Structure 1
Amino acid sequence: MPGALDAALARRSWSKVTDAAPTHDELLQFVAAAGRVADHSSLRPWRLIELRGEDRERLGRAINKAQGDKGVSSKPLRAPLLIAVVASYRKSHKVPRWEQEAVASGVAHMLSLLLDEAGWGVIWRTGHYTRAKAVAKAHGLKKNEELLGWLYVGGKPASSRPERRKAVDARPFVSRMP
């Protein structure tokens, strides 16, 4: 079983996936693990929305509505499972909003890493739709919430060989205090 370092080094985004997807119960296991990210004051300022089947079509309609178009955008139909990542901000005098958003982003990244390591193809998609009123309404977002994007999840195609991402030379990104 590979360790966390091996899993992180092997991770890549999968823009094309098959119709296979983890079950709801499998997803709950991954979310329970991903929810263990560092979280100042244990606020859990995040939530996830599972979109399958017709939910993806509802999102497609909301995306088109946000653009002023009719019909259903095919974008949400690119994977059998979409996981909307929501920053759900809590009132706190100790934990600023940016830090709460970082926790929600950390959960999303950890979840994508766990899913990838378990054999699922994942890509985190964002964009201007995340701030559209029609899209927020479709997700049932509250005033204290923001959509950070969606994890698109499906099977890794057998015909696709996993491409290794270019290695990161860490030296330019790590320095000592001046």
Structure 2
Amino acid sequence: METAGRTPVRDAALRRRSRSKVDDRAPSRDELLELVAAAATVADHSGLVPWRIIEIRGDARETVGRAIAVAGGAEGDAADKLAGKPLRAPLLLAVVLSPRESRKVPEWEQESVASGVAHLLSLLLDEAGWGVMWRTGIWTRADAVAQAHELLPGEKLLGWLYVGGAFGDEKPRKPFDASRVVSSL
């Protein structure tokens, strides 16, 4: 077994970039479903599937934008600026924590599973040639934003994957010094 050499998964992880600017292309629903099915393979203690994805396209992005503006307490031009954020990509994927009742798996662990799905899905979308950026912020837990997403009681929004057509040259990723974060006992 190769431990530190080049593998397709390692190469994909090293290639991944957050793309703040994308064009108006987006994956089809069928392509999205295939990628979500692959992301669902993330480690999930007891197989609870404590997450769901909300696909947001077209005018639904404006609904989310208005909710963000309300949550931000903005008025006038500032409200318009906040409301326009979801229009930066043709597809938003809201990542939702849907905790399940479990005596074995605490909610924090279930939120980790949902976060893992989001990250793996962003990696899969990037590998498929789409531009992706995971956006979060203070509005993810605001009541107006939860209502706009029609969240169920107990659900929490973790953020959105902004998805669109990738363009432009990729800047090389700076090497990461793993010795800064790996210690021994």
Shared fold per TM-score greater than 0.5:
yes
The 2-side partners of 1:68 and 1:12 are apart by 32
TM (norm. structure 2) is 0.91
Structure 1 runs not aligned, ≥5 long: none
- What is the DSSP-based 3-state SS (H/G/I as helix, E as strand, rest coil) of the residue aligned with 1:64? helix
- What is the DSSP-based 3-state SS (H/G/I as helix, E as strand, rest coil) of the residue aligned with 2:131? strand
Deviation at 1:165, TM superposition (A): 2.1
Partner of 1:172: 180
RMSD: 1.2
Partner of 1:35: 40
Partner of 2:3: none
**Cα pair 1:90 1:144 within 8 Å, conserved:** no
Deviation at 1:102, TM superposition (A): 0.2
- What are the equivalent positions in structure 2 for 1:112-131 lying under 5 Å apart? 112-131=122-141
The 2-side partners of 1:107 and 1:156 are apart by 21
**Cα pair 1:51 1:82 within 8 Å, conserved:** yes
- What is the DSSP-based 3-state SS (H/G/I as helix, E as strand, rest coil) of the residue aligned with 1:74? helix
Amino acid at match of 2:176: V
Out of 68, 72, 81, the residue aligned to residue 67 of structure 1 is: 72
Partner of 2:151: 141
The 1-side partners of 2:126 and 2:87 are apart by 20
Out of 104, 108, 131, the residue aligned to residue 114 of structure 2 is: 104
The 1-side partners of 2:17 and 2:173 are apart by 7
The 2-side partners of 1:68 and 1:39 are apart by 37
Percent identical among aligned pairs is: 64
Mapped pair 1:88 → 2:98: yes
Partner of 2:4: none
State the Cα deviation string for residues 14-52 of structure 1 (Å, max 9, x = none). 000000000011000000000000000000000000000
Partner of 1:26: 31
The 2-side partners of 1:100 and 1:143 are apart by 16
Out of 52, 55, 59, the residue aligned to residue 60 of structure 2 is: 55
**Cα pair 1:49 1:85 within 8 Å, conserved:** yes
Count of paired positions: 174
Amino acid at match of 2:12: A
State the Cα deviation string for residues 41-88 of structure 1 (Å, max 9, x = none). 000000000000001000011111112346651000000000000010
